[in-house]
A and B are shown apart, each in its own frame.
Chain A
Amino acid sequence: MSLREELQGLPPAKLAVEDVSKWFRTSRQTVHALDHISLDINEGEFVCLVGPSGCGKSTLLDIIAGLATPDEGRVMADNEPVLSPGRHRLVMFQEAALFPWLDVTGNVMFGLKLKPGLKNKERREVAKFFLHLVGLEKFAAAHVHELSGGMKQRVALARALAPNPRVLLMDEPFAALDALTREQLYSDIQRIWEKRRKTIVFVTHNVREAVCLADRVILFSRNPGRIREQFDIPLPRPRDINSIELAEYAGKITRALKGHSEEEPAEE
């Protein structure tokens, strides 16, 4: 694969979650984490999974990533069953999970180095391109501990984008950041998603965040983890998290979320 193709981006993938169930068994109890979840996600769609903690949304993300296996059902990515983690589905976690023994460029190149068919010089070019995209080209040689929380997540984003995945899976990636940094990242992620169209599955418990980013918000309930309702968000982009229309959608979804929680009393 040539450098140019590498920088152009691959077509995003279609995901299909087919009747997935999962239980967690401990010696004291069995938790029904996911109950017959079925979900189709289109090529290039931005989907947010929202729900109370413990509703299984992160578990579903792990299953899509191939980091966990479902007890029943399966996940298809471009009509191929997901059996293990793969280069076309990269994950961003709540913690940046950057490797402290590598500098920023080294971290961005980690996934790239596992990709055959590229010369090291080309890998460097690709890393530079993505560091530029997330606005951190000046920090190419910085050590991980020198970065702020927001910068670390930008590096993690560049690291996930660099190997050119078709799907980006994000597990509450901004939950640990302050509000200002988060708002900056919302606009960054929208800008980047416009340029590098990926299928994105984004897990959050922040409804506004979900409405700001997603084409479709999927509401989960817990005990057992089920899909309760889906909301299309037809707002124009780029979206501002403080806009009134966005707040109206968020209010509607929050009310639905509360309604479901009242139906079944929570037990943590």
Chain B
Amino acid sequence: MRRASLATLFFVILVAIWHFIVRAGIWSPVLLPSPQSVGEYLVGAVRDGTLLEATGVTVRRLLFGYLIGIAIGLPLGLFTSASKFAEDTIGVMALGLQTLPSVCWIPLALLWFGQTESAMLFVVIMGTVWSVVIATDTGVRNIPPIFARAARTMGSRGLHKWTKVILPASLPFLVSGMKQGWAFAWRSLMAAEIYVTILTGFGLGHLLHYGRELQAMDQVIGVMLVIITIGLLTDKILFSPIERFLHNRWGTGLR
């Protein structure tokens, strides 16, 4: 309870500072809107449905692309960890592509797919896959060899070895890789939505983009807050329980 109220206090103070800076009138309200006007925009956008719809569109694209990215990246990572040939080819390629900022995929995606959903999906997948490949590969390589030996003596081999020993043993690495993959997917999708105007769905990135076009700073900041909130919620809802399970079982992360 004390922790929660201290944290709340922190954010209240943050908003208060914002409020007083606006009141001081140093910057024009066009550049720095007040917390009230951002709040009013958010309430209005929720009421007329634009915000919820945009959030829905964005989250759907993100989840879809992210899941496909994992479905491709995980087996590829297992493959690179198991075969020297794959390590020298796919592994090197993954390492190279992972360092490529995902915004760089957008021009290519636009030329290949045009202003379509496929272009969006492509960018998100490219943002996810490579970091998942590398995390999976690292995870498998960091399994203590004694686990593999113990499992072998008990007769675990083939598919059983992969699903019951190697995958669970590399879980701590896999989860941090998936978190990183999520962060990359999120970034690349926002970049894609800001640059690519398409008619099939109006996402949060588009709201941000049009906020800038219309010089509606309350909209820009409001949408940014929504994006931050989604990021936070994902972490708390999706990843925290898994990490808690891992810490619990592995006995790590104790304070």
Contacts known (A95-B146, A143-B248); A101 close to B155, Cβ less than 8 A: no
How long is the Cα–Cα vector from A217 to B29 in the complex, in angstroms?
89
In the bound complex, CA of A115 to CA of B160 (Å): 12
Which residues on the A side are within 8 Å of B155 (C-beta)? 85-87, 111, 114-115
Total of A-B residue pairs, C-beta within 8 Å: 63
Q: Which residues in window 136-162 of A have CB below 8 A to B?
A: 143-146, 159
Instruction: Report whether B171 and A65 are in contact in the complex, using a CB–CB cutoff of 8 Å.
Output: no
Residues of B in contact with A, size category: 20 to 34
Q: Which of B152, B156, B168, B169 contacts A67 (CB 8 A)?
A: B152
Q: How far is the CA of A159 from the CA of B154 in the complex (A)?
A: 9
In whole angstroms, what is the CA distance A105 to B243 when docked? 22
Q: Find out whether the CB atom of B154 lies under 8 angstroms from the CB atom of A163.
A: yes
A114 / chain B contacts, CB cutoff of 8 Å: 154-156, 160
Query: Which chain A residues lie closer than 8 Å to B149 at the CB level?
Result: 67, 91, 93, 97
- Compute how far the CA of A34 lies from the CA of B53 in the bound complex, rounded to whole angstroms: 72
Chain A residue numbers with a CB within 8 Å of B11 are none
Chain B positions within 8 Å of A66 at CB level: 153
Q: Does B10 contact A (CB under 8 A)?
A: no
Bound complex: CA of A198 vs CA of B249, how far in Å? 33
Query: Which positions 79-94 of chain A face chain B at CB distance < 8 Å?
Result: 85-87, 89-91, 93
Judged by a CB distance under 8 angstroms, whether A100 is at the interface is yes
User: Is B6 part of the binding interface, using a Cβ–Cβ cutoff of 8 Å?
Assistant: no
B147 part of interface (Cβ distance < 8 Å): yes
**Is there contact, CB below 8 Å, between B154 and A99?**
no
Tell me whether B169 and A99 are in contact (CB under 8 A): yes
Docked Cα-Cα span, A65 to B151, in Å, equals: 12
Closest to A146 in B: B251
A56-112 interface (Cβ within 8 A of B)? 65-67, 85-87, 89-91, 93, 95, 97, 99-102, 110-111
Provide the B104-142 mask, 1 if CB < 8 A to any CB of A, else 0: 000000000000000000000000000000000000000
Whether B169 pairs with A101 at a CB distance below 8 angstroms is yes
> Is B150 among interface residues, defined by CB-CB distance under 8 A?
yes
What residue of chain B has the Cβ atom nearest to residue A107's Cβ? B150
Q: Select which of B147, B156, B164, B171 is within 8 A of A97 by beta carbon.
A: B147
3 nearest CB pairs, A to B:
A145-B251, A111-B154, A97-B150
Query: Which B residues form the contact surface with A (CB < 8 A)?
Result: 144, 146-147, 149-156, 160, 164-165, 168-169, 171, 248-251
A–B pairs, 6, beta carbons within 8 Å: A90-B154, A97-B147, A99-B147, A100-B251, A143-B249, A144-B251
Which residue numbers of A lie inside 8 Å of B, CB to CB? 65-67, 85-87, 89-91, 93, 95, 97, 99-102, 110-111, 114-115, 143-146, 159, 163
Q: A93-B149, A100-B250, A100-B251 are in contact. List 9 more A-B contacts (CB 8 A).
A: A65-B153, A67-B153, A85-B152, A87-B155, A99-B150, A111-B154, A115-B155, A145-B251, A159-B154
